Amino acid sequence: MEALVLEKAHELSLRDIQIPETLGPHDVRIALHTVGVCGSDVHYYDTGAIGQFVVREPMVLGHEAAGTIIEVGSDVQGLKVGDRVCMEPGIPDPNSKATRLGIYNLDPAVRFWATPPVHGVLRPTVVHPAAFTFKLPDNVSFAEGAMVEPLAVGMHGANKAQIKPGDLAVVIGAGPIGMVTLLSALAGGCSRVVIADVQQPKLDLAATLGPVTPVNVAQENLTDVVMKLTDGWGADIVFEASGNAKAAAGVFEPLCPAGRVVFIGIPGQPIAFDVSAAQVKEARIENVFRYAHVYPRAIALMGSGLLDVKPLITNTFGFEDSIAAFDFALHMPPDSVKVQITLPQ
């Protein structure tokens, strides 16, 4: 089948590749419709590796996906040919200790699309377990369906924060993950989100998404703005979604006493961590790695209209222009958030 193949760092080709797949009794076969371009895909393109994961053999990119079921395994229930679906890209070992504990995202044996050596889904079809395939409501488009994957990261962060109705949250970083974290925080009951970034067009977009206070940290001090909004008390929650070492080191400054910090962005380097700054506020610190058991709730929020990801989808390319899409994403203009690729149907 024709797929977008990362041959090695800086070398993509749209070419035929053999991917042997058999449909098991609990699997479905899906014709891909829309695949989002994730920061991780772009990072593999740019450097050929993310931490311990190194691209050693040609690998198909893409893991944020929605499509239509074209074949159903003999034991599959609740899904049928023609269903519009989105898919969870990480498949754990169903018998592992992590999976049995319900923390399947932390299973060391998890196989995740477009994480070496597992192929991604910028290709016409894929076989996938039905248990990790979710039906989309009629009013949720394929493009929105392909946004469930990044949204799930923000929703997992919101779960970890244990939001209480009326909380004020800070989100550091207005990239795709910062934006979906903002949406998840509002859907989870926050009364206001203060979002910080240095790219003004992204902040302007964020300001249209609800009760949001944008802070351009090139011009304004984030902690000053938060303290002013909260009569000097601080934010209930700080979500770190930038991965920026300096920003991540400052998360305790705008935080209220006994507040919660959730680290979502992955810093490229180890960051200095001020334990005493956390101690004096008795900060509760949580970390996010992907997500678990979030898709049905994310899809339900989209279907009910309480959470709208459409404004985040800023650029769409055809499958034949996939390489151009990746070059665009590599040098993302400040007014772009999410790039998606549409496959021929």
For 257-283, give one letter per residue: b (16+ CB within 10 A) or e.
Answer: eebbbbbbbbbeeebeeeeeebeebeb
- Judged by CB, which is closer to Zn ion: 64, or 107? 64
- Judged by CB, which is closer to Zn ion: 79, or 343? 343
- Report in angstroms how near the CB of residue 150 gets to Zn ion at its nearest: 5
**Inter-residue contact 122 to 66 (CB < 8 Å):** no
**Inter-residue contact 3 to 123 (CB < 8 Å):** yes
Distance between CA atoms of residues 174 and 189, nearest Å: 20
- Judged by CB, which is closer to Zn ion: 38, or 122? 38
Distance between CA atoms of residues 305 and 131, nearest Å: 25
- Judged by CB, which is closer to Zn ion: 252, or 295? 295
Distance between CA atoms of residues 55 and 131, nearest Å: 28
Distance between CA atoms of residues 107 and 225, nearest Å: 40
Q: Which residues bind Zn ion (CB under 5 A)?
A: 38, 64
- Judged by CB, which is closer to Zn ion: 64, or 236? 64
- Report in angstroms how near the CB of residue 341 gets to Zn ion at its nearest: 13
Distance between CA atoms of residues 223 and 238, nearest Å: 11
Single-letter amino acid code for the residue at 302: M
When CB distances to Zn ion are compared, the closest residue is 38
Helices 148-161 and 295-304, packing angle to 10 deg:
100
- Report in angstroms how near the CB of residue 35 gets to Zn ion at its nearest: 10
Nearest to 140 by CA among 298, 292, 277: 298
- Report in angstroms how near the CB of residue 39 gets to Zn ion at its nearest: 7
- Report in angstroms how near the CB of residue 30 gets to Zn ion at its nearest: 18
- Report in angstroms how near the CB of residue 38 gets to Zn ion at its nearest: 3
- Judged by CB, which is closer to Zn ion: 62, or 214? 62
Distance between CA atoms of residues 51 and 34, nearest Å: 27
- Report in angstroms how near the CB of residue 220 gets to Zn ion at its nearest: 30
- Judged by CB, which is closer to Zn ion: 189, or 268? 268
Sign, CA torsion 55/56/57/58: positive
